[in-house]
Structure 1
Amino acid sequence: MSLAPALRAEIVEALSRWELAGEAERLGGGAANEHWRIAVEGEERPWVLRRYHPRHDATDIAYEHRVLAYLEARDWPVAPPIADARGRTLAETDAGLWALFRWRGGEPAPPESPLYLQRKGALLALLHSDLAEAPDFGQRPGFGRADDLDAFVRADGHESVEALLDWYAGRDEARATALADALTRNREALATGGFAELPDQLIYYECLGGNVRFREDTVTALFDFDLTHRDARVADIARSLAVDCGVSAKRAGAWLAGYANLAQPRLNEDEAALIAPLITAAELWNTVLPLSIGSRWGNESQIRAAETSIDRRLALSEEAERVLAAVALQAARS
């Protein structure tokens, strides 16, 4: 599909910051940021241009770029941002904030394959070991731990999740109440399990779906560190399970077996007991964040995504707690 002239002009201006010119093709898959594949005449390997969502600022993005630079130095197959002639990895134009990356190939794992689920679990265990040794970048601006959703909504002008729910109740009181009740149950479960006492470290939070690419048995790419921040490693595990395994004990068991086999330090029972409520916490985050973005930026598709979660996915997530709790404990004991 051809690009609108105004958008094409914005892309041309952004690429000029890297003294680059080429044909742009929009890439799908991003929930908030926008991406284009850039083909340059005479170059076999394309580039990827990203425009960040307006809720991101330069400080927040610089954090992501530091993590990518650290992982590249550790020989992880990431796509670090490309610096311009002045050493800057972020370009600002009137149309937004932009970064440029090199294309990395590979294919997503077969979604139903227990073998590849096990490999993805093992991969995250190894990644956690290296991320635990990273310099202390502090917490990423605009982010918090799984039990601190207030930090995520402040970027959209809300003082707290409760303030966001007050706004949403004026639009849909029944759904706002259902979401508030689910948040209360989850906060109580995390507090009872001692989540606040677990140490935090850098986490990926996107080791899922098509973000991990393979060529046969080789991992060729880890995409999208847009959500990297500090949290307990089990929060990262839970988000991967929520997306890649759903309520399937078989799939979760394969994934967790891969993680537990290579985790350093070993996954302990206290951590494992929190995986189930953290799966619901991940779905709550996946509900609150689009609701917050939609309220701030007038994005009805984001609000509809949050409502789908309230109506269907949150109930499935709480069902997954019951199904997967025993699977997680078994992985820690094996």
Structure 2
Amino acid sequence: MNHSFAGKTIIATAQIRIHFDEPRNADATLIEYLATVSHRAIGGHVMDAFDETAFFLELGPDQILNAVEAAGFPCTGHLLALNSYENRVYQVGVEERGMLVAKFYRPGRWSDEQILEEHLFTQQMAELEIPAVPPMADDEGRTLLKHGPFRFALYPRVGGRAPDLESPDHLRRLGAFLGRLHQLGAAEKFAHRPALTPQSFGVDSAQFLLASEHIPDSLRSVYQGLTEDLLGRIERQWKLAEGFKPIRLHGDFHVGNILWDEYEGPRVVDFDDARSGPAIQDIWLCLSGDRQTQADQFCDLLEGYSRFHDLDPREMHLIEALRTLRMLHHMAWIGKRWADPAFPRCFPWFDDPLQWETHILGLREQAALMEEQPLPWPL
């Protein structure tokens, strides 16, 4: 089935374009860019191919709505771009069901086997009534759908607000969620998805950045020396935690992926970064503030967590190492996606020497933090 939604996509594009009531930020810029690309794709004037993801950038409203209809969901023509940098995610109006969320996967990042393994993980959660949001299956039971060159998945739309990380009650309930998630995550291993390690997030990220042209020449030797020192410190922290058991994780458990309902608690979305690693990776992202505040927050989280799963105290040594790895990986991720025009528009500061100086300062602070004692284990 293939339809033209030309009349409807004008409305959809207008919906996207009016999404600017608040001051501009990277997310707003991304939404504007997606609207622009979608509009150009209708007329066939998308930029020339520059790499393997060129056809991904040509994804426009007609392709999106045709793909959803081919999956068995007649569309109303309503289409709204949602905030997503790595993939393309849209809220799509469908007849009789209201709204669905369609997630189109960036090619070249995950294999079909890796995506299906992520889907299976969330389906296992749903079977145990762990409040994650798994993809919907079509009439043949498939969750990874294909339309032309595009791979996509459909999700029910769920609502909620961000949790209050200053609330002990919210933290205990988040801890209970993570305890249940990690109990399941420890029950078996990923066969296809990667692991979070100093090599994958640290060494590989630093090597990519140093081989690229993004680091200013005046800072390149400084960055090389600093990252070599940091990677040595990270390895030492890993040795202090030696013996911990890597488990299946959410992988990116920040507040933007947690939809809070005051009665039902957290509902967690976006397992796109699911991978194996230390359990503390899903916990430390919920900690903020000064050392004492983080210690108090951790105590509340652990109270809920320990009802369902045991956290290895040795993993406390990894918190600042993991924070450092996240900083390195984030900069490398932007650099690897720089050929996608959405990224220079959303992260215009990336090639600014001042920003690299700030990044280096942050990494130096991490070097000092890794020399401090880890957060205390609650008595």
Q: TM-score, normalised by structure 1?
A: 0.80
CA separation of 1:257 and 1:38: change in aligned 2, threshold 3 A? same
- Asked whether 1:137 is paired with 2:190, we answer yes
Residue in 2 that maps onto 1:47: 100
- Partners of 1:35 and 1:174 lie apart in 2 by 38
Equivalent residues of 1:280, 1:314 under 8 A apart: no
Deviates more, 1:98-107 or 1:270-279: 270-279
3-state SS of 2:129 partner: coil
2:254 is aligned with 1:208: yes
- Say if 2:91 and 2:101, in contact at 8 Å, map to a contact too: yes
- Give the CA deviation at 1:75: 0.8
For the structure 1 residues 204 and 321, does the alpha-carbon distance in structure 2 shift closer, same or farther, using more than 3 Å as the test? Answer: farther
**Aligned residue number for residue 235 of structure 1:** 281
* 1:154-233 map, 5 Å: 160-161=204-205, 163-169=207-213, 172-193=216-237, 194=239, 195=241, 197-233=243-279
Amino acid at match of 1:80: P
The SS at the match of 1:83 is coil
Radius of gyration: which is bigger? 2
User: What is the one-letter code of the residue matched to 1:275?
Assistant: I
- Runs of 5+ consecutive residues of structure 2 not aligned to the other structure: 1-10, 14-38, 43-59
Equivalent residue letter for 2:310: P
2:12 equivalent among 2, 14, 17: 2
Question: How far apart are the structure 1 equivalents of 2:311 and 2:97?
Answer: 45
Alpha-carbon distance in 1 for matches of 2:64, 2:330 = 30
Worse-superposed segment, 56-65 or 66-75: 56-65
SS of aligned partner of 2:91: strand
Please tell me the root mean square deviation across aligned C-alpha atoms, in Å: 3.3
SS at match of 1:204: coil
Q: Which residue of 1 aligns with 2:147?
A: 93
| Counterpart residue identity of residue 256, structure 1 | F
Residues 105 and 150 in structure 2, CA contact (< 8 A), matched pair in contact too:
yes
Match of 1:79 among 133, 145, 150: 133
2:198 is matched by which residue type in structure 1? D
Change (3 A) 1:123 1:182: farther
1:157 corresponds to = none
Residues in 1 aligned to 2:215 and 2:367: alpha-carbon distance in whole angstroms: 30
Question: Does the Cα contact within 8 Å between 1:149 and 1:161 map onto a contact in 2?
Answer: yes
Superposed displacement of residue 173, structure 1: 2.6
| Separation (CA, whole Å) in 1 of partners of 2:215 and 2:342 | 13
Q: Tell me, what secondary structure is at the counterpart of 1:2?
A: helix
Displacement, 1:51? 0.8
Segment of structure 1 superposing worse, 226-235 or 118-127: 118-127
- Which residues in structure 2 correspond to 1:245-264 (within 5 Å)? 245=288, 247-261=289-303, 262-263=305-306, 264=309
> What secondary structure does 2:375 align onto?
helix
User: Structure 2 CA distance, aligned partners of 1:249 and 1:170?
Assistant: 33
1:260 Cα deviation from its structure 2 partner: 2.4
TM-score normalised to the size of structure 2?
0.72
**CA distance in 1: counterparts of 2:209 and 2:173, whole angstroms:** 39
| Count of aligned pairs between the two proteins | 317
* Aligned amino acid, residue 274 of structure 1: L
Identity %: 17
